[in-house]
Amino acid sequence: MQAGQLDKRVTFMRRERVPGKPAGRGDFAELLKVACAFRPVSGQALAEAGSLTDAIEGSICVRDTARTRSLTVADRAVIDGRDMAIESVPPSDRTGWIWIRVSRRKASA
């Protein structure tokens, strides 16, 4: 992945800790903003998986940093104004990049 291909901005969101409430029950707050590349899954792959036709699924590529390595499936990603659930965050593989799977499916609230 070349840096010039990071043509979008992604904002990662994490739930705030609220005193008196269980962990992970607050509102989402901005965690960090980074440049990314978004690669949607093809329509054929969605159909084969039995997904809804209006679902948007894909992968975002971000630089491998300490902050991006701390992302979890409990966090959210906002790309082009679209709120997406993080489906998986793979461990670091020494390439310098992390491919994070995201989808428009609603996360548990």
- For residue 93, name the pLDDT band (cuts at 50, 70, 90): confident
pLDDT at 6: 83
Model pTM?
0.77
Sorted by where each begins, the domain ranges of the chain are 3-103
pLDDT at 87 over 60: yes
**Pairing relation of β-strands 82-88 and 97-103?**
antiparallel
Instruction: Taking residues 59-73, report their average pLDDT.
Output: 92
Exposed (0-12), middle (13-18) or buried (19+): which is 98, by Cβ within 10 Å? buried
From the list 60, 43, 66, the residue with the least C-alpha distance to 9 is 60
pLDDT at 57: 81
- For residue 109, name the pLDDT band (cuts at 50, 70, 90): very low
Q: What is the pLDDT of residues 6-50, one digit of tens each?
A: 888 999 999 888 777 766 677 899 999 999 998 887 666 556 656
Domain 3-103 fold is Thrombin, subunit H (2.40.10)
Strand locations in the chain (E): 8-15, 28-40, 57-63, 76-79, 82-88, 97-103
pLDDT at 101: 93
CB 38 within 8 A of CB 77: no
Name the average pLDDT for the chain: 82
